[in-house]
Amino acid sequence: MKTTVAVLIFTASAVCAAAQAPTTATAAGCPLEPVKFHACALPKTKSFNPPRTADGRPDLQGYWERAFTSQDIEEHTAGFGIQAGPSLVIDTPDRKIPYQPWALELKKDIVDRFISPLASCFPPGMPRHVIAPAAHQIIQTPGYVVHLLEYSHSYRIIPTAAGSHVPGPVKLWQGDSRGRWEGNTLVVDVTNANGLTWFDNAGNFFSDAVHMVERFTLVDADTIHYEARIEDPKVYTRPWTMVSALTRNKEPGFELFEQACHEGNRAVEGGQSVGLTPFPGVTNIRGGGR
């Protein structure tokens, strides 16, 4: 019973996600399947000379869409309102997230116990912001990259010029992003996550100790190779890497609209009515408090 209702709660966003599916099976001449895309796109980034901003940085600006939905970053079959999709994990033997045994146990029934953070209209956090539903826009100024998201009307800001992370005790829904340019790649170091967000609707999770290193590289004018290396000694047996293509939305006159996620949102009540509770983070689930 619980399972059924929990799935229904996610249906609204899943249908929306399906509507945003990419129309091209390839990007930059590479298949979208993450391992294949990674192998094919990375060499191309070496020879591609990207368009540049006035201050000489690769120009990532424009409207973008993710290659796959964030229904489940591990391989999954199609379901009601859900597209089948490959695993975004590229560097573990079974293409699964290398959970520690206790974490794998938690993962098994996490969506039967907890309300999806996105259903509660919380900001998506990293890296989900990058693979979140609906349209994305990147704006660059000297010293900053801003990633605007239509979904839940949120944004992330990546300072690229200066600054170290905010102090460790500061925990943020969107985490603290610090960027730098390595050649033509925007490398973003993310810490200070509050550990209350998920990777996807399947309940794949990390803790507030997570450290991510993201890499954004233009493969051609209309394709970004996005990679996130995830390290969380509280939850995984080893660091691992996920990859997705981001493809440019070239629709003439396209603009972001907005989604006031809390507007008429009854998903939380639906979850509570069958005994689900807000996801309190793994530190709280395992004890020790936050």
How near is the Cβ of 162 to another protein at its closest, in Å?
5
DSSP codes, 240-273: EEEEEEEEE---TT-------TTTT--HHHHHHH
What single DSSP character describes residue 27?
Answer: E
Closest to another protein by CB, 21 or 260: 260
Site for another protein in 47-106 (CB under 8 A): 54
Does 163 engage in binding with another protein (CB under 8 A)? yes
Q: Which stretch binds another protein (CB under 8 A): 92-100, 168-176, 205-213, 221-229?
A: 168-176
Which of 109, 102, 108, 113 lies closest to 278 in space, CA to CA? 113
Site for another protein in 125-144 (CB under 8 A): 137, 139-141, 144
Closest to another protein by CB, 99 or 173: 173
Cα separation, 2 vs 271, whole angstroms: 9
How near is the Cβ of 68 to another protein at its closest, in Å?
24
- The helix or strand, by DSSP H or E, that contains position 45, with its residue range, turns out to be helix 34-47
How near is the Cβ of 122 to another protein at its closest, in Å?
7
Closest to another protein by CB, 13 or 174: 174
Dihedral pair phi/psi, residue 159, rounded to 5°: -70, 135
Contact pattern from residue 238 through residue 267 relative to another protein, giving x for each residue in contact according to CB under 8 A and a dash for the rest: ------------------xxx-x-xx----
Name, in order, each residue with C-beta under 8 angstroms of 61's C-beta and a sequence gap of 6 or more.
53, 138, 139, 140
Cα separation, 267 vs 275, whole angstroms: 13
Does 157 engage in binding with another protein (CB under 8 A)? yes
Residue among 122, 198, 205, 279 that touches another protein (CB under 8 A): 122
Dihedral pair phi/psi, residue 96, rounded to 5°: -105, 160
Cα separation, 121 vs 29, whole angstroms: 36
| 214-225 core/surface letters (b: 16 or more CB in 10 A; e: else) | bbbbbbbebbbb
Does 162 engage in binding with another protein (CB under 8 A)? yes
Residues in contact with another protein, counted by CB under 8 A, come to a total of 30
Q: Which stretch binds another protein (CB under 8 A): 87-95, 156-164, 201-209, 241-249?
A: 156-164
Residue among 81, 123, 203, 271 that touches another protein (CB under 8 A): 123
Residues within the interface to another protein (CB under 8 A): 54, 121-123, 137, 139-141, 144, 146, 148, 153-155, 157, 161-163, 166-167, 170, 172-174, 256-258, 260, 262-263
